[in-house]
Structure 1
Amino acid sequence: MRTIVITGSSRRLGLFLVEKFLSMGDTVIAITRSPSQNFQSISSEHLQLIQIDSYDQFGITKAMQEIETLAERVDLLINNASMYDVDPENFEELENHYLSLFNVHMLFPTLLITALKEHMYSESTPGVVVNITDIYADNPNPEYALYCSTKSGLESLTQSFAKKFSPGIRCNSIMPGPIQFLEQHTEHQKSEVYKETLLPFEGGYMPVFQAVTFLLDNHYVTGTSIKVDGGRSICRG
């Protein structure tokens, strides 16, 4: 039985990944700030919840204290926690907003990967890290400049950690595109996205899960990024 740690685990993609790995018989340690109702409805003895107040040093300290009591070995870490907000127009809000994005997308993954090293490192059966980034890391959206820059930073960290922790930990990333629209997206907004996507439909969460399992199962892949975006990254101007 594998042990899998997932951050940002109570909604959308994170919740989907939790449910899929549980259905495969894995033990899932789910890290979240606020468990959703759907997450709380999951009934499984193989699910362990770690609720933290913040994605920073205090959150890491609490998470690691609990992980130490739950698992000796971690086979897969998925850094999925994310904030997706437009850049604030108010100058006074820029610093706090940017720091929040940095903490979630870069600081917490850095601290968690480093803290879990002893639980993941093995030259015979390397642990696997999968960072969920964004195709905007390569082709930024100017309205989300700060978000894009921190996702780009996580892409860079992916390659850095692949070098730093080889050969005992494999570290890769997945760059999703329009896999699942938010409820507030209008049909017009969806159609505009489809116009700039080679496969003009919602991908759903399953293709991301399939990419994760590929990275988990393929022992000769590290330091790479997989775009799961229906071709949007090469179609969008």
Structure 2
Amino acid sequence: MSAAPILITGGAQRLGRHCAERLVDDGHPVIVSYRRERPELEALRRRGIVTLRADFATEAGILDFIARLKGETRSLRAIVHNASDWAPDSRDEQAGATFERLFRVHMLAPYLINLHCRELLEACGEPQRDIVHMTDYVAQKGSKKHAAYAATKAGLENLTLSFAAMYAPEIQVNAIAPALIMLGEDDDEAYAEQARAKSAMAMVPGPGVIYQSLRYLLDNRYVTGITLPVDGGRHLR
């Protein structure tokens, strides 16, 4: 097992938190970034997970995070870009600002982290080093209410191809594209039924399927430049 930690951005809740906890269960040291303090972070810290606050909504915030990350560790086994902002489109004067924020969170932060932290991955000393981009099913389909979100996730998916070509063969770069994996705290049964009906598998699977997908990429030395869909067969509907 590598002594170099795995970085998960946006690892304080939901899919990121689940993957962080499962990685620790499997013996990996983990670092997570988080946007704001929340009670769940204390439970992660008690498990030995390092938490670093990060503001990916600005370039200065991204660069500050990278500097503090390098002060925390000299190597990384993998980087999982999970930080995300599910912001709906705006039709008022804030529309441009919303798009720019989503661009920075979904594209600029992974782009700069990948560039500036390549040396941390190369210092890992393990035969396999990985970058994993968490994109979204809507990157291929588009969205009527979240066009900026879908477009910037599609941009992240394209960055997967570029960095995979750039960093091969030393570092593998792949993406995972989930559809709805977990329900929100306020989602009722009517919403859950509607969500299940969108996929051929007719289920809301829970975060374990994302960890299985991440584990596949972290354990396979011959996969790079792919986007792994985890959507229950939505394209069959």
Match of 1:33 in 2: 35
* C-alpha displacement of 1:218: 0.3
| Gap regions ≥5 residues in structure 1 | none
> 1:1-237 alignment to 2 at 5 Å?
1-44=3-46, 46-90=48-92, 92-121=93-122, 125-235=127-237
Helix, strand or coil for the counterpart of 1:41?
A: helix
TM-score (norm 1): 0.92
SS at match of 2:202: coil
Change (3 A) 1:190 1:202: same
Which amino acid in structure 2 is aligned with residue 131 of structure 1?
A: H
Which shifted more, 132-141 or 66-75?
A: 66-75
The total of aligned residue pairs comes to 234
SS at match of 1:73: coil
- Cα RMSD of the aligned pairs, angstroms, is 1.7
Q: For the residues of structure 2 that align with 1:161 and 1:31, how far apart are their CA atoms?
A: 22
Deviations 1:167-194 (A, max 9, x none): 1111000001111011222322222222
Q: Report the Cα offset of residue 124 of structure 1.
A: 7.0
Structure 2: stretches of 5+ with no match in the other structure: none
For residue 178 of structure 1, what is the amino acid of its counterpart? L
* Of 46-55 and 105-114, the range deviating more from structure 2: 46-55
Structure 2 Cα separation of the partners of residues 124 and 78 of structure 1: 17
| Alpha-carbon offset, residue 108 of structure 1 | 0.3
Q: After superposition, what is the alpha-carbon deviation per residue over 1:33-78, rounded to whole angstroms, capped at 9, x for unaligned?
A: 1132112223446311111234433223322222223222211100
